[in-house]
Structure 1
Amino acid sequence: MAVSANRLELLQIADAVAREKSIDRQIVLASMEDAMQKAARSRYGQETEVRAEINAKTGEVRFSRLLQVVDQIENDAKEITLTEARKKNPAAQVGDWIAETLPPFDFGRIAAQSAKQVIVQKVREAERDRQYQEFKDRIGEIVNGVVKRVEYGNVIIDLGRGEATIRRDEMIPREQFRPGDRVRAYVYDVRREQRGPQIFLSRTHPQFMAKLFRQEVPEIYDGVIEVRAVARDPGSRAKIAVISRDSSIDPVGACVGMRGSRVQAVVNELQGEKIDIIPWSQDAATFIVNALQPAEVVKVVLDEDSERIEVVVPDDQLSLAIGRRGQNVRLASQLTGWDIDILTEAEESERRQKEFVERTNIFMKALDVDEVVGQLLASEGFRSVEELAFVEPSELASIEGFDADTAEEIQNRARENLAKIEAELEARRKELGVADELREISGLNTVMLVKLGENDVKTIEDLAGCATDDLIGWSERKDNETVKHLGFLDGVEISREEAEALIMKARVKAGWVDEAALAAPEVEAETAEEAPAAH
């Protein structure tokens, strides 16, 4: 059978559209069928169930009307009796659909225009879906494109099979693009929106630099060297932490390359951004010391609970450690995830001396001893009266100039002082109106009860209604700095887990939570931990 010119032209159009829009040919043919169905309904009536089929090999178009087999006709445009249906198909049953072939017809101008709109809309939807499906799996990759236009500071990039946007705040400062410029950028988000898929690119994202190193350093691409952390001040300076899985390969040297060729390629792409390549270490103190390069570090003091670290540097290294406008220490903090406090040796010595004087005065006042004894106790490392009250007597007796009687007398005075403070706190608790039943919750001491009372937590129900953050405070990062919000128990050494336990005990006591139900998850957790051991 010969294929007519019109039919052949139909298939050629479908092929051309499929190629141009990079979508499946079958989708284009299906959209043409939908358009023809819409045009046919305008000819035969909107209620008529019309189906159009295009033969994918010959281009032949067939129209048919679908009729449902019923016992009694209510709508002759959609229904057919069982008797009439069996004339066409002897096996027809009530509820079946019968197809009646319709004669071909010429599209009018309005019907053709309507069909064209349907095809354009369906093809556009298919194209958008194809773009979204293609790019949603490319988040985290670097793409190449050509600048199409610049709108209000935002750069529209032609990626060949779609358009993407680099917003003004995702561009390196002082970077200028003109139509026709080639651009490399990082895909950080792809969203399906009403106007089509929106692809967002970035040149300031920390992972853009990590991916550039992956392209320039074969060892990173092969997985021998791993990029553990990246911190950037786009267009100015950056730090990248790397570790080698092969002890024979120096991760820093591999990233720098012969005469700096590898790192220079990344620097050029990032408009001259200075890059510090740092060896990553599992030991937090070592890693932070490395991150503060090129400054030298004399001593570090870690506070693991609050993830703060105190770094002591020589007096002449302070400005280098902090960096211009705090850049070096800020990037080191971002890279490591720790808050870093920098002190000079002179400042640290002065602070140690101040702490020593404060502890000496505390001991002199609390124990009613002279300055020499107070200094002796402070120099031996005792930090509080509580330590003195409950330390082994032999430890005190072993201090030079002390004997067993002196040690006993100091401990007695320390306990008397604590008892006096406890009595004062108890009086304060009652004055604040903190309920006696709160004392029954294990883990709460009088100091904590007074602090709760001062924050209007005075009953079991008040404590049960608290959140963990209410008790211990919380931290949030603002403008690359950590802001600490104080809790009701500020100044009391208490962990998040202990605070949660106190609140849950209050909820059980208040009858909000069933104690048996509370214990059930713990039993399940223990069972889960034991299960692997049974293998």
Structure 2
Amino acid sequence: MAITSANQLELLQTAEAVAREKMIDPELVIQAMEESLARAAKSRYGSEMDIRVTIDRKTGRAQFTRVRTVVEDDAVESYQAQMTVVQAKQFLADPKIGDEIIEEVPPVDLGRIAAQSAKQVILQKVREAERDRQFEEFEGRKGTIINGVVKREEYGNIIVDIGRGEAILRRNEKIGRESYRPNDRIRSYIKDVRREARGPQVFLSRTDPQFMAELFKMEVPEIYDGIIEIKAVARDPGSRAKIAVISYDSSIDPVGACVGMRGSRVQAVVNELQGEKIDIIPWNEDQATFLVNALQPAEVSKVVIDEEANRIEVVVPDEQLSLAIGRRGQNVRLASQLTGLDIDILTEAQESERRQAEFADRTGMFMAALDLDETFAQLLVSEGFTNLEEVAYVDLEELLVIEGVDDATAAELQARARDHIEALNSKALEAARELGVEDSLIEFEGLTPQMVEALAKDDVKTLEDFATCADWELAGGWTTVNGERVKDEGILEKFDMSLEEAQHLVMTARIQLGWVDPSELAGDAEAPVAEDEA
């Protein structure tokens, strides 16, 4: 087929038809045609030549040109695509390095093989453009619900027709044991869209917590309008779920709005989720209040929060324990997911036993250290004293409020406590020196002799060793492993050292050693303030 003898407008008509069929930009089809014609021309004129083809967007005329670049004399690698400055003077008055010499060449006749090759190039470019369009379309819809039709099942995975492409609903993203037949309609959540060699891959889910949130958004106009916000969702797909909501309009009850008249709104979501039971919970900024709501229908007697460890302890009546935990731990697990906290549940009897054990331990410690009888030691614990330091260095007035304690008794108690602490310090200091601790660490302000001994047992024996420690190595912390929080024991954790105190001590050691310039720290501290003010 010769381009010169063909109807020149046919190229434009073909491009329009292909673009309309594949729903892509006609310009992309024309560019593919130009590239395919240029490739065919190279096979005719020589692969070393730089042949370019331009199709006129109005007339459809294809112009074939040969391009040669002006290079230095010693840089010529191919005379078919390059020329020297001297040679270029035949075409330009003042040629410069990098100029391009463009000459029109006769159109080529496309033989059967060349035409087939050109067709393959066009089809490849059209497929790439179609994939890009599909990826952009579905990437923009990620995080929303899409309706589709089941096409087939492959190894437990469902292939879904979603209009302009296909999507996959993996076996582990289906609810329970639900099954589908070809041509069944299915509603799913677009969880992820990936660009792959074989085209964009759309991954659907019916178990993702956000699928339920999007269903509520469709059923509850107040959520769609932003009057009610879904703050958190936790699901055990196909069995039970909890959703926390808050209303920004005091006249609208968020729970009632989500339930709907006679439960119509929530029932529509339940039906879509194969009968999954849904607890709708009012969200609260106060963690304790929110957790009490999240553990419904169980009643909670007391909540103790450990903010540093991000854990929470819940005390429930003895008869409410099984209800709070739920079948196979479902209720407490969903409440933990909803609040983002690790939850320990105790009965009132278990908490009472623990308090009694702590009371007995502290009583025994005061009896042994201060040489007191049991009744007097119990009085100290009852007044809130937990360790010897509190007794040794507290104001006398706080000891005098204890029944039967006068000035002399209070002074004697403090003297015994200080003597015992001093004896412990001397023993710890002696042990630390035997382990090889240097004076630089012993004399470092902020560390007690017992702390120095604990550090020495962990092979931290110099101020340099201490300065290289991380704050969590000293104070302890939590690490998430396989979705579960694991406790990291700190060297000085038993001395109730916080992360902030550990950070301060380590930074002070680094400043003393000259590793850190205090003025730089001051500058770093001021930067966020300046940014906030801006």
CA distance in 2 between counterparts of 1:75 and 1:324 reads 79
Alpha carbons of 1:290 and 1:4: their partners in 2 closer, same or farther (altered >3 Å)? Answer: farther
- The answer for the alignment partner of 2:50 in structure 1 is 49
CA deviation after TM superposition for structure 1 residue 98, in Å: 4.2
- The answer for the alignment partner of 2:15 in structure 1 is 14
Instruction: Specify the code of the residue in structure 2 equivalent to 1:32.
Output: M
Confirm whether residue 495 of structure 1 aligns to residue 498 of structure 2: yes
CA deviation after TM superposition for structure 1 residue 518, in Å: 3.7
Query: Does structure 1 conserve the Cα–Cα contact (< 8 Å) formed by 2:168 and 2:204?
Result: yes
Give 1:303's match in structure 2, choosing from 306, 316, 322.
306
Query: Does structure 1 conserve the Cα–Cα contact (< 8 Å) formed by 2:88 and 2:101?
Result: no
Give TM-score, length-normalised by structure 1. Answer: 0.91
Query: Does structure 1 conserve the Cα–Cα contact (< 8 Å) formed by 2:134 and 2:200?
Result: yes
Deviations 1:209-262 (A, max 9, x none): 111111111111111011111111122111111111011110011111111111
Q: Which segments of 5 or more consecutive residues in structure 2 lack a partner in the other structure? A: none
- The answer for the alignment partner of 1:243 in structure 2 is 246
Instruction: Specify the code of the residue in structure 2 equivalent to 1:58.
Output: T
CA distance in 2 between counterparts of 1:420 and 1:143 reads 73
Deviations 1:123-176 (A, max 9, x none): 222222222222333332222222333333233333222333333222222122
CA distance in 1 between counterparts of 2:198 and 2:368 reads 74
- The answer for the alignment partner of 1:104 in structure 2 is 107
- The answer for the alignment partner of 2:62 in structure 1 is 61
CA distance in 1 between counterparts of 2:531 and 2:31 reads 53
CA distance in 2 between counterparts of 1:131 and 1:482 reads 40
Confirm whether residue 521 of structure 1 aligns to residue 527 of structure 2: no
Query: Does structure 2 conserve the Cα–Cα contact (< 8 Å) formed by 1:238 and 1:274?
Result: yes
CA distance in 1 between counterparts of 2:484 and 2:78 reads 72
Instruction: Specify the code of the residue in structure 1 equivalent to 2:323.
Output: L
CA distance in 1 between counterparts of 2:81 and 2:266 reads 72
Instruction: Specify the code of the residue in structure 2 equivalent to 1:222.
Output: D
CA distance in 1 between counterparts of 2:102 and 2:529 reads 65
Alpha carbons of 1:76 and 1:437: their partners in 2 closer, same or farther (altered >3 Å)? Answer: closer
Superposition pairs of residues 127-526 of structure 1, within 5 angstroms = 127-478=130-481, 481-525=484-528
Instruction: Specify the code of the residue in structure 2 equivalent to 1:10.
Output: L
Query: Does structure 2 conserve the Cα–Cα contact (< 8 Å) formed by 1:310 and 1:340?
Result: yes
Query: Does structure 1 conserve the Cα–Cα contact (< 8 Å) formed by 2:309 and 2:477?
Result: no
CA distance in 2 between counterparts of 1:82 and 1:129 reads 42
Comparing 288-297 with 505-514, greater Cα deviation is found at 505-514
- The answer for the alignment partner of 2:91 in structure 1 is 85
Confirm whether residue 124 of structure 1 aligns to residue 124 of structure 2: no
Deviations 1:167-210 (A, max 9, x none): 32222221223332322222232233333333322222221211
Q: Secondary structure at the match of 1:183?
A: strand
CA deviation after TM superposition for structure 1 residue 492, in Å: 2.4
CA deviation after TM superposition for structure 1 residue 104, in Å: 3.0
Alpha carbons of 1:370 and 1:68: their partners in 2 closer, same or farther (altered >3 Å)? Answer: closer
Query: Does structure 1 conserve the Cα–Cα contact (< 8 Å) formed by 2:247 and 2:254?
Result: yes
CA distance in 2 between counterparts of 1:528 and 1:438 reads 38
Aligned Cα root-mean-square deviation (Å): 2.5
CA distance in 1 between counterparts of 2:528 and 2:62 reads 65
CA distance in 1 between counterparts of 2:345 and 2:72 reads 90
CA deviation after TM superposition for structure 1 residue 25, in Å: 0.8
CA deviation after TM superposition for structure 1 residue 456, in Å: 1.4
CA distance in 2 between counterparts of 1:327 and 1:477 reads 21
Say how many residue pairs are matched: 525
Over the matched positions of the two proteins, sequence identity in percent amounts to 61
CA deviation after TM superposition for structure 1 residue 30, in Å: 0.4
CA distance in 1 between counterparts of 2:403 and 2:82 reads 110
Instruction: Specify the code of the residue in structure 2 equivalent to 1:501.
Output: H
Query: Does structure 2 conserve the Cα–Cα contact (< 8 Å) formed by 1:85 and 1:92?
Result: no
Deviations 1:383-425 (A, max 9, x none): 2222122222112212222222222222222222222222222
Alpha carbons of 1:458 and 1:198: their partners in 2 closer, same or farther (altered >3 Å)? Answer: farther
CA deviation after TM superposition for structure 1 residue 515, in Å: 4.1
CA deviation after TM superposition for structure 1 residue 501, in Å: 2.6
Query: Does structure 1 conserve the Cα–Cα contact (< 8 Å) formed by 2:89 and 2:95?
Result: no
Comparing 37-46 with 67-76, greater Cα deviation is found at 67-76
Alpha carbons of 1:489 and 1:180: their partners in 2 closer, same or farther (altered >3 Å)? Answer: farther
Q: Secondary structure at the match of 2:91?
A: helix
Alpha carbons of 1:441 and 1:98: their partners in 2 closer, same or farther (altered >3 Å)? Answer: same
CA distance in 1 between counterparts of 2:7 and 2:447 reads 89
Comparing 196-205 with 520-529, greater Cα deviation is found at 520-529
Alpha carbons of 1:185 and 1:478: their partners in 2 closer, same or farther (altered >3 Å)? Answer: farther
Give TM-score, length-normalised by structure 2. Answer: 0.91
CA distance in 2 between counterparts of 1:67 and 1:458 reads 73
Alpha carbons of 1:67 and 1:424: their partners in 2 closer, same or farther (altered >3 Å)? Answer: closer
Q: Secondary structure at the match of 1:85?
A: coil
Query: Does structure 2 conserve the Cα–Cα contact (< 8 Å) formed by 1:441 and 1:505?
Result: no
Alpha carbons of 1:97 and 1:479: their partners in 2 closer, same or farther (altered >3 Å)? Answer: closer
CA deviation after TM superposition for structure 1 residue 488, in Å: 2.0
Q: Secondary structure at the match of 2:494?
A: coil
Query: Does structure 1 conserve the Cα–Cα contact (< 8 Å) formed by 2:194 and 2:201?
Result: yes
CA distance in 2 between counterparts of 1:178 and 1:217 reads 30
CA deviation after TM superposition for structure 1 residue 370, in Å: 0.9
CA distance in 2 between counterparts of 1:70 and 1:421 reads 86
Query: Does structure 1 conserve the Cα–Cα contact (< 8 Å) formed by 2:426 and 2:449?
Result: no
CA distance in 2 between counterparts of 1:289 and 1:363 reads 37
CA deviation after TM superposition for structure 1 residue 523, in Å: 4.3
Q: Which segments of 5 or more consecutive residues in structure 1 lack a partner in the other structure? A: none
